[in-house]
Amino acid sequence: MSAQPRPADGTLSPLGLPRPVEVRPGPGGEPRELRRPRRAPLAVERVQETWRIADEWWREPPLRRSYYRVVLEGGGTLTLFHDETQPPGLGWYEQRY
């Protein structure tokens, strides 16, 4: 196991930050295809699970996300979310654990 190098200032880097992805949604808004930067598109075989989060109402804007646990064609699963405060077509992320 290799250790991640620390930044020059000695601070720690957070783990599991969401990564932006491009998503082509289906007619109901669910993800049908996703593309990571500099990679080929990945087709979504099916949505396994969905859930919504509306939290931190005191923030501006408040936290509003739709999550999708998806099964990819050829195997593998990912968790994606759409930031509902973003304009249509923007605000899609891969949630890493």
pLDDT, tens only, 14-61: 888 999 999 999 998 999 999 998 999 999 999 999 999 998 878 888
Q: Residue 7: CB partners within 8 Å, gap ≥ 6?
A: 13
Residue 18 is classified by DSSP as -
pLDDT, tens only, 60-78: 888 899 999 999 999 999 9
Transcribe 34-73 into DSSP letters. Answer: EE-TTS--EEEEEEEEEEEEEE-TTSSSPEEEEEEEEEET
Domain ranges of the chain: 37-95
Q: How many CB atoms lie within 10 A of CB 80?
A: 21
